[in-house]
Amino acid sequence: MSLRNTARRGAAAMVLAVLAPLALTACSGNDEGPSFVSATPSAAAAPQASAEPLTLAVTPAEAAKNQPVSTEIGTKVTGGTVQTVTVTDSSGGKVTGAMRADGSSWVPNKPLKYGKAYKATVVVADAGGQTIEKSTSFTTMGRPGKKTGAGLYMFEDREYGVAMPVVIEFTSPVPVSARAGVERRLFVTTDPPQPGVWSWSSSLQVMYRGPEFWQTGTKITVRAALEGVPMGNGRYGDQDRKGIGNISKDKIEMKVDNATKQMQVFKNDNLVKTLPVSLGKKTTPSSSGTLVVMDKLRKTVFDTTDDPGNVDRYRVDIEYAQRLTWGGEYIHAAPWSVQHQGKRNVSHGCVNVSTANAQYLFNLTRIGDPITIKGTERTVKPANGWTAWSVTWDQFLKGSALPIPPELAALGSAPAPSASATPQPSVSPS
């Protein structure tokens, strides 16, 4: 069975991470997920010898007004490198921050204050010791009247499965014209380092993943530095968000084949269990693709009796439910369909298993574990859940609003995980 039009976003409201701003510390990573190096003299990169003359241009322009509180200090340098960036408010208080890894700008650790004056001073040097210092003063805008909120699905006190994407959802649509600016303010670092890209599945959702599932034991740190960021249609980001995700030390993966009506369960790439299933009947088929466990409910009620357009309405108590889509597809116990499991599809779109098998899966899995379903009458729609893995890497890259570095584009020859018949041992250290 599936739950339709009932608490579709209820789980979302429960797991939205509404957190305090992340203090941005010196770190390194990939260009598509902007990262930072220190701008202090002791940690500044040594100037390289260059035939170019030393030049420096700084933004915002002198005396600029009504700047967003997300303003960065732009630095365009030839013939040298940035040595220091100092930003102070009108009272002389220092603003902390760090340079982007590509040296294009200096990013404050926290949003600036509304309606305040600031002064930024940048010092650059060449290999011969010549320096240039430039300053600029600017004033931030007043508080905006229209804001867009953002929810980050990630909590530090939880372990997640290897397919857990970084998911941000917005309270108002973000138009295409604003997405690059928003994306540049979404910062991700992973330990151990792994490549990744942001991709827009809709105007309300953007997700981050790499070309492969996360390595087991990975720590993911996220700062969505969105307060004051122009979000389009006269709206601005309401506040910064932060989150930390800890990926499980075990890789759990489920694979369902509609042709056989069987689920294979893998732990660390080893087959540990095969169990019969019943999927959605032809009028209410299950969605094919690589889906991700989004929520887990020991007991719940599926209720579609308030849907006047549904002639097949029902209300039923459910055990061991694991949500896979916003549309209401779950893995769950279905003792009423045991006689059909492994033989024919009778559900409203869910993955039906016996109570014993549902309990086994419920105790084994975590939010973020992948399940690949193949051979059904329909494919999962973008944004109907955390669908980042239901497309190939090449397709996922097309959803980015920023240029893709060549080294990341080159990784696109691998198929989506859903296209692989059997998980293969990872060649990456775990």
pLDDT for position 243: 95
- Residues 386 and 260 grouped into a single domain: yes
Across the range 24-46, mean pLDDT stands at 34
pLDDT for position 248: 98
Q: Predicted confidence band at 205 (pLDDT cuts at 50, 70, 90)?
A: very high
pLDDT for position 427: 27
End residue of a domain, out of 202, 232, 247: 247
350 is catalytic: yes
- Residues 114 and 161 grouped into a single domain: no
- Residues 93 and 223 grouped into a single domain: no
CATH classification at residue 129: 2.60.40.3780
Across the range 222-251, mean pLDDT stands at 97
pLDDT at 261 over 60: yes
- Residues 196 and 305 grouped into a single domain: no
- Residues 377 and 262 grouped into a single domain: yes
Q: Which two tokens stand for residue 59?
A: 């933004």
Catalytic residue (one of 27, 340, 348, 350): 350
C-alpha 28/C-alpha 5 separation (Å) is: 43
pLDDT for position 328: 92
Q: Predicted confidence band at 305 (pLDDT cuts at 50, 70, 90)?
A: low
pTM of the model: 0.83
C-alpha 190/C-alpha 193 separation (Å) is: 5
Domain-located, residue 31: no
DSSP 94-111: EEPEEEETTSSEEEESSP
Catalytic residue (one of 27, 332, 340, 348): 332
> What number of CA atoms fall less than 13 Å from residue 421's CA on the CB side?
1
Q: Predicted confidence band at 119 (pLDDT cuts at 50, 70, 90)?
A: very high
pLDDT for position 3: 40
End residue of a domain, out of 196, 229, 247: 247
Signed CA dihedral, 68, 70, 73, 76: sign only: negative
- Residues 286 and 175 grouped into a single domain: no
Number of domains forming the structure of the chain: 3
CATH classification at residue 374: 2.40.440.10
With a pLDDT cut of 90, the percent of the chain lying above it is: 77
C-alpha 285/C-alpha 138 separation (Å) is: 57
CB neighbour burial string for 223-246, b if at least 16 within 10 angstroms, e if fewer: bbbbbbbbbbeebbbbbbbbbbbb
Q: Which two tokens stand for residue 67?
A: 């700047």
pLDDT tens digits, residue range 99-116?
Answer: 999 999 999 999 999 999
- Residues 189 and 174 grouped into a single domain: yes
C-alpha 161/C-alpha 361 separation (Å) is: 13
Domain-located, residue 429: no
pLDDT at 410 over 80: yes
27 is catalytic: no
Give burial (CB, 10 Å; 0-12/13-18/19+) of 113.
middle
Domain range enclosing 270: 250-390
Mean pLDDT of the chain: 86
Q: Are 59 and 52 in contact (CB under 8 A)?
A: no
C-alpha 398/C-alpha 144 separation (Å) is: 32
